Structure 1
């Protein structure tokens, strides 16, 4: 829908409200406000209908606007205006396009490198035909090329993950780049901050980025010692009054740490004591990756795209000062061509016209011949994903979804369960994790191809958040992921389809109501 027409409709509503305000026949301020709300609500309803969104999203907005008009207006201004999306992310789109062009040019110029020991490292992976076909298809959808000369280690839960991250940071000699959706100023957050300060005081370049909404609780008192030590600090789309209605809906959900351009980390864990099992949630199950080799370059490029966008009004750093500097993109020396397989780094976000992360996941699932195993803390699929899972299970593929036994979001949990009945009826196996909450975001296809990243199996991760996932082909770490799934299934209880169908009517009503809101979660 054109912005001019939207402004015209909104202006009309305001004019009606002002007319009512000046009309002496209106008996009370309450009546004036009531009719103003009705007028604005009617305008928004027309806008939503004319934008031709998906039926599911349209119905969700209509439900909120008609049931709670005042709340609906506020939510729409913050999260609903499609016309803001392309305008808001255009700067990011331009940065990403330049980054991709430069990266592809650099890859083509030097596909093989010999390190000082005489070992050759190659960016071209050796994949079996099955994996190569999947990687090529995902590249065409919009993912990076699959990177060879790389290795990955699965890190399970907070202890393993943060021990590995602290170890890499302690060994840094040139730069440390850190990005999180949620970074808390609690014990773990303070400990990691102080380590970054220590490294900055040693002359190491440190860049620290956090999401403006996810880490809104970070205060200057916590960040000031970092800046004083020379650390460059940036918020991705900070929540200011003037930008709230433009950026609140498009959050950066990525978790990336890159050290010296040689080792990187990504996956499900943010920084907070809850990820160490030290909160009211209790035990916290999660998964992360430690990556070395050429795949680090692709993950590093995504961090730098976010960074350059975030600091566009402050540090004025440019893409080229990083891309053509071997201190930031050094030739990998730790991983040789003897390492088979490859890693494909895939970003997703509102800068893409389509739901790229969703399409990548569907492409992975479409390659399955035997099994599709998924673990996700939030399961709010769009219609395309829901239909595909039903068809896959009906065709005899072993489809399993590992879901938390206890959720940290009551609304999301109720909405998620509204999808279970139809999936169970088609043969999908759904497991509830007995030990508590699982926050891991993983997928395993036929026990041969795996995905570990930041994206949940929900509409927000598919359409609205900046996300990243690492797809692993023909690598030893896939066996570790397979074993991890087996362990988690043993610690879980499969939902009995017959018992689930006969759950209380009141619970089914709540699930159905929250499902109407699922596109807004």
Structure 2
């Protein structure tokens, strides 16, 4: 069973309900956690569940959470009986792997319910405060056998931190998953920089190249390889309706400028580009031909495709794809379409500036 949440606040509400019903274990893995209002509600539930004897594990990225949590955050949770691990901590040693961050967003409850999507557990994702206008993000809930993949992904990362063996694995994989008779298919997947091949980019390329009618994409950043750019351009040239929605208000001005340097080639090929007028677009999803979709943590940039640990869910002919399609059409109505003229009428200075920005794109 799949449920798509067109707003992060709706996903959080569902997560709070699921967490409050946990009986065996809770696994949570996030890039960023902010110990304020939104996570405060979660933390209180985790405390109560730990008191009840539920196994609670929390895993977060050190860089992603800088400035968001107190140094005594972990100590407090561990005193409550909550297990915590930090991914790739900056202290005590900076190393060559500092550039590889855990960008995944996973919650698993009792091995039966799972959540993922674009949002972290910080107030700005839920518009509790809005430094970049309205923050647009999405998520998805899974129930049933597919949750087993999310459980395994979490345990793999958890034990990778100290090279410890995974013991009692089958204690976390139910003997019998709740059965759902809904239509369609669901396949959670993940990428790690150690894999040796860019699975996230390959999934997107495969979807784009298989499209016959439409390709809709949301991403906060657009810093793509020539292969991805070429695939999008070729799709538009063969008559596919290709649309990309990016932020109208950026969170990183410099990265925003680099993203815009990719506009001209795409616009000239017939790709339609929108900028989300109300604020910052942070959701990461792809919809192809209204029958196949991907929702997860992958941005359309080098970091997600090559440097970060990421995860997503691939959907095919699932009823929730209609909800994803509705979300896209609402975005097109509330966003400003970039004029195709921007793909042609560029001054020499603009072309030189954009060319220079592209040189450093793989580093961003």
Instruction: Specify the alignment match of 1:231 in structure 2.
Output: 82
| C-alpha distance in structure 1 between counterparts of 2:15 and 2:351, whole Å | 43
* Larger helix share, 1 or 2: 1
Alpha-carbon distance, 1:237 to partner: 1.3
Instruction: Specify the alignment match of 1:275 in structure 2.
Output: 125
Q: Is the 8 A contact 1:157 1:275 kept in 2?
A: no
Q: How does 1:358-437 map to 2 (within 5 A)?
A: 358-437=201-280
Question: CA offsets, 1:202-254, max 9 Å, x none?
Answer: 11110000012212333332222210011000011111243x22221111100
Q: How does 1:74-223 map to 2 (within 5 A)?
A: 151-217=1-67, 218-223=69-74
* Superposed CA RMSD: 1.6
1:310 is aligned to 2:161: yes
Q: Secondary structure at the match of 1:412?
A: helix
TM norm structure 1: 0.67
Pick one of 147, 167, 174 that aligns with 1:329.
174
Instruction: Give the count of matched residue pairs.
Output: 362
Pick one of 269, 284, 294 that aligns with 1:441.
284
Alpha-carbon distance, 1:329 to partner: 3.2
| C-alpha distance in structure 2 between counterparts of 1:188 and 1:340, whole Å | 34
| Alpha-carbon spacing, 1:299–1:480, altered in 2? closer, same or farther (3 Å) | same
Q: Secondary structure at the match of 1:340?
A: coil
Alpha-carbon distance, 1:512 to partner: 3.0
Q: Is the 8 A contact 2:266 2:343 kept in 1?
A: no
Q: Is the 8 A contact 1:261 1:330 kept in 2?
A: no
Alpha-carbon distance, 1:507 to partner: 5.0
Pick one of 289, 300, 307 that aligns with 2:140.
289
Instruction: Specify the alignment match of 1:54 in structure 2.
Output: none
| C-alpha distance in structure 2 between counterparts of 1:220 and 1:492, whole Å | 40
Q: Is the 8 A contact 2:56 2:83 kept in 1?
A: yes
Q: Which is further off, 476-485 or 340-349?
A: 340-349
| C-alpha distance in structure 2 between counterparts of 1:330 and 1:253, whole Å | 30
Alpha-carbon distance, 1:469 to partner: 0.9
| Alpha-carbon spacing, 1:203–1:512, altered in 2? closer, same or farther (3 Å) | same
| C-alpha distance in structure 1 between counterparts of 2:56 and 2:71, whole Å | 18
Q: Which ranges in structure 2 are unaligned for 5 or more consecutive residues? A: none
Q: Secondary structure at the match of 1:485?
A: helix
Alpha-carbon distance, 1:503 to partner: 5.5
Q: Which has the larger radius of gyration?
A: 1
| C-alpha distance in structure 1 between counterparts of 2:342 and 2:244, whole Å | 18
Q: Is the 8 A contact 2:267 2:342 kept in 1?
A: no
Q: Secondary structure at the match of 1:215?
A: coil
| C-alpha distance in structure 2 between counterparts of 1:202 and 1:375, whole Å | 41
Instruction: Specify the alignment match of 1:22 in structure 2.
Output: none
Alpha-carbon distance, 1:189 to partner: 2.3
Q: Which ranges in structure 1 are unaligned for 5 or more consecutive residues? A: 1-150
Q: Secondary structure at the match of 2:197?
A: coil
Alpha-carbon distance, 1:370 to partner: 0.9
| Alpha-carbon spacing, 1:171–1:284, altered in 2? closer, same or farther (3 Å) | same
Q: Is the 8 A contact 1:180 1:255 kept in 2?
A: yes
Question: CA offsets, 1:118-141, max 9 Å, x none?
Answer: xxxxxxxxxxxxxxxxxxxxxxxx
| C-alpha distance in structure 2 between counterparts of 1:442 and 1:463, whole Å | 18
Alpha-carbon distance, 1:187 to partner: 1.9
Q: Secondary structure at the match of 1:329?
A: coil
Pick one of 260, 268, 288 that aligns with 2:110.
260
